[in-house]
Amino acid sequence: MIRTKSITSHEFDQYAGDYDRMLAEGLVVSGEEKDYFALRRIQWVKACMDKLQLAPRRFMDYGCGRGEAAPLLLGQFNAESVVGVDPSAKLIELAKHEHTSRRIIFQLTQEYCPEEERELVYCNGVFHHIPVAERKMAAQYIWRSLEPGGYLAFWENNSWNPGTRYVMSRIPFDRDAVTLTAPEATRLLQSAGFHIVRTDYLFIFPKSLSVLRWMEPHLSPYPFGAQYLVLGRKAGRLSNRA
């Protein structure tokens, strides 16, 4: 684990207007834009649900930022509703302005009341910004938001990958983040009550080597990818099955 300071919601308010530009400058070394990674993550989660013969319809995007994942969740899953939550008031304001579907709702994290009504929570690159002492509480918030049998798709940056560390060093709001490895994420989610279904590593090859990307699904069990997914399940039985 890289142990430095975590960013606050107030600091994210300051970065809100330049968030996309800063992220793009960091990702330029991959040859891809953020939309490529966002779509591939959600497609991967959809494939995982298909293998489990599940068809979740009610989603949460935990740490939604400007809300870019919400329309992708609607489209890939034909979702009934998506709730995006984030502690940054400015990012929530931007999300509401940019995404106006009646099936999408954005709220401040501290204003949303978890009521065991979401079937799948999507979370990408959020926990490395949460102070270590508060991470279990955040994972329990997600657990309380899920209905019995619901799933958490927990994506994080793989700090074992040198390319990931380099990209994060180029992004102001990631530069001082406190990263967590997949084994650390697994222990965290288990401590919050989740059963771990699988762990996958994705995004191995940059665009310049995209001809090799057909190999990525076969290499996903190994810790090479720039990001990893820990798929967790809350005890119970999910009602929506494919």
Q: Are 189 and 196 in contact (CB under 8 A)?
A: yes
CATH class of 9-233: alpha beta
Distance, CA of 129 to CA of 213 (rounded, Å):
29
Q: What is the pLDDT of residue 34?
A: 75
pLDDT of residue 241: 65
Statement: residue 2 has pLDDT above 90: no
Q: Is the dihedral of CA 52, 195, 46, 103 positive or negative?
A: positive
User: Tens of pLDDT along 73-99?
Assistant: 999 999 999 999 999 999 999 999 999
Please report, rounded to a whole number, the percentage of residues in the chain having pLDDT higher than 90: 68
Return d(Cα 153, Cα 47) in angstroms, integer: 12
Say yes or no to pLDDT of 5 above 50.
no
Q: What is the pLDDT of residue 140?
A: 97
* pLDDT score of 242: 60
Question: Do 104 and 74 form a contact (C-beta atoms < 8 A)?
Answer: yes
Domain boundaries, the chain: 9-233
pLDDT at 237 (0 to 100)? 77
